[in-house]
Each structure stands twice: as structure tokens, then as C-alpha cells.
């Protein structure tokens, strides 16, 4: 049976303990761990143990991306960001987490990719591969966002692709990411939007076409259906995080059922 997972931060500031308990209680099998900044945070370092206590699998961690553009520039800031990515790999290896999801840029249009940046990434991804950790790059705001080069340069280290449904719909409508990179797919970020803002809405609250997911699920039987959704766009619609999680799981199951029925239009 396919796992149904969710990003572990979705807009509420409840404690990790209570959040993970609720995630498991409503039915989710696992989480993707979201990290915003550095790793000098005791709470973040405790998350794998808390997840284990609540019988949640950890599919991957999402690396910080605020300063990712420095990766392509000379200087200490770029070196520091590269070191942060390596810390992600070490953290995954220590906690038996199989993958790190990264952005190759932050903002639109994306910055020019440089040899220095690719060299930094090569060292990190090669080291991660030796640790048993896979790096996955996420589609962002343009078709030429570095994904093709990333996958070509680091193929020997099993570099992969994370498909974000919301980004695809908002930034690159009509571009078939799955046709181009589906054979390298390693994770999903599933959310909906109206084609105007990256709202990270629940499935069926926007106008994203789910047809690409039907193709994905027919070819990747063990790939988790993973939500990356956010409460912030809903105002006071949900009374608390538990109500939001309950609805999120219902939407995920409905999407799974639609995708498993070849006769349904999605």
C-alpha cells in the first residue's frame, strides 16, 4: 500500500510532540521534515526520535533554501551554505533518512549557475552518496532551473528529482516535467493553487490538474503521496491544526482513490 505523508510544518506553531501525535492519529504514515535555517537547534535534532515514538516514517528532509543563491557565488556565504547542505546529508545518515530535497535557487528569475556552484554541489552529493543519502532537486520557477544539468552531472551519485505540483502549475504550465525527468523521480510535493499564487492549498481547492500524478503512480508503485500544504491561506477556516490535518488526510485519500481509478477525470 502506498504511504501517505505530509510536510511536518504546515502553518501552526504547536509543539513537535503534539504535531507528530496528531499527524499519526489522523492517518498519515510519515513526514517530510522541513528545515528553515541551521542545525544548531535542539528541537530539530530531536524530531527523528519523536517521529519514531509516534510510528512515523521520515521520507526526507527539505534543506533550507533562503540563502541558496550564494551557492553560485564566490565567498564565505556560499561556502557556509554548502556546509549547511553537507550537514543535511550527515543528519540524514545519522538518522536513517534516505534523501535530502533541495532548491537550486531562490526567487524568480533564477540566478545564473556557475562552475563554482556545481563544484560545491559535486563534493556534497558525492559525500552524501557514500553515506547512503540521495539528493533530490525540486522544480521551481522556470523550465531552465538547473534540473537537467543537476541530473546529468550527478547521475553516478543517484541524484534525483522532486516534483512539486504547485510550482509546475504556477510557473511552468504546459511543461511536462514527468516526461523529461520522471525516470529520476524520488519524491513529491503535492499542493494545489489557483495558478496565480503559490498558496500550498489542499488538493481540490485550486485548479491543478492531477493527471501527471496518475502517470507517476502507475510507474512508481512505492512512491509516497506526500502533501506540502499550508494553513496560512485559509485564514480562520480551520479552528485548529487537528481539524486541518483531518481534512488534509481526507483530501489525500480522495486523491489517491481518484488516481487509482483509470476511468476518473482528474
Identify which of 101, 159, 121, 168 has the alpha carbon closest to the alpha carbon of residue 140: 168
Q: Which residues pair with 102 in a beta bridge?
A: 137
* Reported confidence tier of residue 143, pLDDT bands at 50, 70, 90: confident
In this predicted structure, the answer to whether residue 145 has a pLDDT above a threshold of 90 is no
In this predicted structure, the answer to whether residue 14 has a pLDDT above a threshold of 90 is no
Q: What is the per-residue pLDDT for 36?
A: 67
**Triad 190, 164, 87: Cα angle to 5°:** 105
| Percent of the chain residues past pLDDT 90, beyond the cut | 85
Q: What are phi and psi of 67, to 5 degrees?
A: -105, 20
Tell me, letter by letter, the H, E, C secondary structure of 66-96.
Answer: CCHHHHHCCCHHHHHHHHHHHHHHHHHHHCC
Distance of CA 90 to the CA centre of its chain: 18
In this predicted structure, the answer to whether residue 156 has a pLDDT above a threshold of 70 is yes
In this predicted structure, the answer to whether residue 144 has a pLDDT above a threshold of 60 is yes
The larger pLDDT score, comparing residue 38 to residue 105, is at 105
Counting DSSP H helices and E strands in the chain, the numbers are 9, 8
- How does DSSP classify residue 57? E
Extended strands (E) in 66-171: 99-102, 134-138, 160-164
Average pLDDT across the chain, whole number? 94
Q: In whole angstroms, what is the distance from residue 7 CA to residue 116 CA?
A: 31
pLDDT in tens, 199-227: 999 999 999 999 999 999 999 999 999 99
Q: 258 exposed, middle or buried (CB, 10 Å; 0-12, 13-18, 19+)? A: middle
Which pTM value belongs to this model? 0.95
Q: What are phi and psi of 136, to 5 degrees?
A: -125, 130
* Reported confidence tier of residue 194, pLDDT bands at 50, 70, 90: very high
Distance of CA 10 to the CA centre of its chain: 13
* 75 phi-psi bin (left φ>0, alpha ψ -120 to 50, beta other): left
* Reported confidence tier of residue 12, pLDDT bands at 50, 70, 90: confident
In this predicted structure, the answer to whether residue 37 has a pLDDT above a threshold of 70 is no
Q: In whole angstroms, what is the distance from residue 31 CA to residue 226 CA?
A: 8
Pairing state between β 57-62 and 225-227: unpaired
In this predicted structure, the answer to whether residue 230 has a pLDDT above a threshold of 60 is yes
For residue 121, give every residue at least 6 positions away whose Cβ sits within 8 Å of its Cβ, in sequence order, or none. 71, 82, 85, 150, 153, 154
55 CB neighbour count, 10 Å cutoff:
10
Q: Which residue in this structure is represented by grid cell 546529508? A: 89
Question: CA quadruple 183, 189, 195, 198: dihedral positive or negative?
Answer: negative
Question: On the CB side of 160, how many CA atoms lie within 13 Å of its CA?
Answer: 21
Q: What are phi and psi of 198, to 5 degrees?
A: -85, 75
The larger pLDDT score, comparing residue 216 to residue 38, is at 216
In this predicted structure, the answer to whether residue 70 has a pLDDT above a threshold of 90 is yes
Amino acid at each position: 500500500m502506498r504511504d501517505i505523508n505530509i510536510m511536518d510544518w504546515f502553518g501552526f506553531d504547536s509543539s513537535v510532540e503534539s504535531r507528530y501525535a496528531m499527524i499519526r492519529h489522523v492517518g498519515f504514515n510519515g513526514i517530510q521534515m522541513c528545515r528553515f535555517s541551521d542545525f544548531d537547534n535542539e528541537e530539530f535534532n530531536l524530531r527523528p526520535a519523536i517521529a519514531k515514538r509516534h510510528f512515523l516514517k521520515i521520507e526526507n528532509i527539505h534543506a533550507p533554501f533562503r540563502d541558496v543563491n550564494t551557492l553560485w557565488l564566490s565567498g564565505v556565504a556560499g561556502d557556509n551554505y554548502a556546509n549547511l547542505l553537507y550537514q543535511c546529508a550527515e543528519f540524514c545518515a545519522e538518522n536513517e533518512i534516505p534523501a535530502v530535497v533541495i532548491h537550486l535557487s531562490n526567487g524568480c528569475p533564477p540566478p545564473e549557475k556557475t562552475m563554482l556552484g556545481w563544484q560545491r554541489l559535486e563534493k556534497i552529493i558525492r559525500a552524501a552518496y557514500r553515506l547512503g543519502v540521495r539528493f533530490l532537486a525540486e522544480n521551481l520557477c522556470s523550465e531552465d532551473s538547473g534540473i537537467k544539468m543537476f541530473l546529468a552531472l550527478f547521475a553516478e551519485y543517484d541524484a534525483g528529482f522532486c516534483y512539486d505540483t504547485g510550482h509546475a502549475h504556477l510557473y511552468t504550465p504546459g511543461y511536462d516535467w514527468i516526461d523529461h525527468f520522471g525516470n529520476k523521480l524520488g519524491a513529491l510535493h503535492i499542493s494545489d493553487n489557483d495558478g496565480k499564487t503559490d498558496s500550498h492549498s489542499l488538493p481540490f481547492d485550486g485548479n491543478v490538474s492531477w493527471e501527471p500524478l496518475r502517470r507517476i503512480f502507475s510507474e512508481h508503485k512505492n512512491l509516497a503521496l506526500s502533501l506540502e500544504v499550508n494553513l496560512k491561506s485559509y485564514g480562520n477556516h480551520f479552528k485548529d491544526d487537528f481539524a486541518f490535518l483531518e481534512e488534509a488526510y481526507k483530501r489525500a485519500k480522495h486523491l489517491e482513490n481518484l488516481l487509482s481509478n483509470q476511468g476518473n477525470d482528474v
